[in-house]
Amino acid sequence: MIQYGACNAQAFAVHKGATPTGLVGTALTSPKALDVWSRKNSVTDINVFRATVAGQQWGWEYETDSVYPIVRIIRNSSDGVVYAFEAESKTDHFRTDYIPLIATDDYDRSIIPSGGSAVWMVMPSETDLETIEALVVADSIPAWASGTAWSAYTTTQLLKQLFRQEQSRLGLYLHSTIGEVFTRSHSVEEYKAYMLLWMRSASRILYDHYGQTCIPLILDKFSVDSDGYVSL
């Protein structure tokens, strides 16, 4: 199945056979290039993409039958998110501890702010997601929906359709709302997948981007502590 990933750091590992999908979130004002020659890491033999400038949100697509959502965060000392990597599965299923968000620059200097750290993000609570849902309901239809069949929808209807569309792509049991997800028993990884897909759908409405990512939402709304736990 086709899956998606995104990152706003300058260098990051991607999945085998990954194809760049371009800028997917809220980009910097002066778009720069992505090195698509896919530099190889000589130790793990994993493809690495490198942006010419940090901060832009680049996406990629790949094929796999595995669903194991991951979100890697580089945070500052105030729990603010500086960089994020998110994908629907691990970049290397044989190296479970492999970290795809590269925390050093071209000169081998750390990109982690003083007092900050790099952590695996724990998915938000149901209450946090309900708070975000209220923001979506109160928002207006994004500009990218203009001229589409979705332009006449309310944001509640659009969120439902985007969410169900993404669930269908991953072959998940279909839920209409994030609240419904928690009324049914799922595996841990399925819960993570539902939440990641829902956050992407919400981000596309709140931050008016068509691309597959929830990085704009994470950067704007999330604080992440040293253990990876989220607060709004």
- What was the pLDDT predicted at 42? 60
d(CA 11, CA 8): 9
Please, where are the H alpha helices in the chain?
Answer: 126-138, 155-169, 178-181, 188-206, 215-221
69 pLDDT more than 60:
yes
Res 30 pLDDT > 90: no
Predicted confidence at residue 40, as pLDDT, reads 56
What is the predicted pLDDT for the residue at 35? 75
CB 95 within 8 A of CB 48: no
Quick check: 216 pLDDT over 80? yes
Average pLDDT for residues 27-45, to the nearest whole number? Answer: 66
Gap between the Cα atoms of 120 and 111, Å rounded: 16
As a whole number, mean pLDDT of residues 8-23 equals: 92
Cα dihedral sign, 76-80-82-83: positive
pLDDT of 37? 57
d(CA 133, CA 36): 36
Across 45-66, average pLDDT: 90
Separation between Cα atoms, residue 139 and residue 178, nearest integer Å: 17
